[in-house]
Amino acid sequence: LEIRGAGELLGDGQSGQIQAVGFTLYMEMLERAVKAIQKGEQPNLDQPMGGGPEINLRVPALIPEDYLPDVHARLILYKRIANAADEDGLNELQVEMIDRFGLLPDAAKHLIRLTLLKLQAEKLGITKIDAGPQGGRIEFAADTPVDPMALIKLIQTQPKRYKFEGATVFKFQVPMERPEERFNTLEALLERLAPAE
């Protein structure tokens, strides 16, 4: 590209898949495939693009308009939060937000914690977490690194609280009325499921 330029990659004469999916998505797909090949893995073409695991805790998780009125600045922050690679990156972003705009309202704190949960869930091969006041469910991908014995031990120690629903769904019944309780419960649960380093 540096020698010949982009040519028809961006022009009207695009051909093949890039025309169908658009340049940004094409580049994201290409980057994912290259990363997988560099790790010596087969690219997973069935995995949905972007976004990572789907997490619904039924809590407001956003940057409120009265905290940051500028729509453009809010969108940039949403993108930076979504693109944070790890806990350190999220913490730095949180410090920056407090420094620039003041103490975070609860909804913004929830957004940061939800993003951190997403990062943890992605490492554990979790595709979906759904939780509410009475409990929730966790769906695992087929290639999850979570040891099935870790889940079985949880069920054996507290059979009223934990159970399997099918091969890839793990249900838990825990009273979690307040958003704080939902975050604490799930953070602790994912911590327990993380494989030992």
Q: Please report the pLDDT score of residue 85 as a whole number.
A: 84
Average pLDDT, the chain: 84
Q: Are strands 169-173 and 126-132 parallel, antiparallel or unpaired?
A: unpaired
| pLDDT tens-place string over residues 23-61 | 556 666 777 788 878 878 777 665 555 557 889 999 999
Domains of the chain: 1-49 (no CATH), 54-193 (3.90.1150.50)
Instruction: Give the separation between CA 56 and CA 113, rounded to whole angstroms.
Output: 12
Give pLDDT tens digits for 148-186: 898 999 999 999 999 999 889 999 999 999 999 999 999
126 pLDDT exceeds 50? yes
Give the confidence band of 11 by pLDDT, cuts at 50, 70, 90: very low
Question: Alpha-carbon distance 26 to 24, whole Å?
Answer: 5
Q: What is the pLDDT of residue 47?
A: 57
Mean pLDDT confidence for 179-194: 94
What percentage of the chain has pLDDT greater than the value 70? 81
How would you classify the pairing of strands 126-132 and 135-140? Answer: antiparallel
- For residue 26, the model assigns a pLDDT of 64
- Residue 83: is its pLDDT beyond 60? yes
Prediction pTM value: 0.73
Measured CA angle at 21 (ends 5, 77), to 5 deg: 85
Selected residue with higher pLDDT from 15 and 151: 151
Q: Spell out a b/e string for 136-161, using b for 16 or more CB atoms within 10 Å of the CB, else e.
A: bebbbbeebebeeeebeebbeeeeee
pLDDT at 117: 94
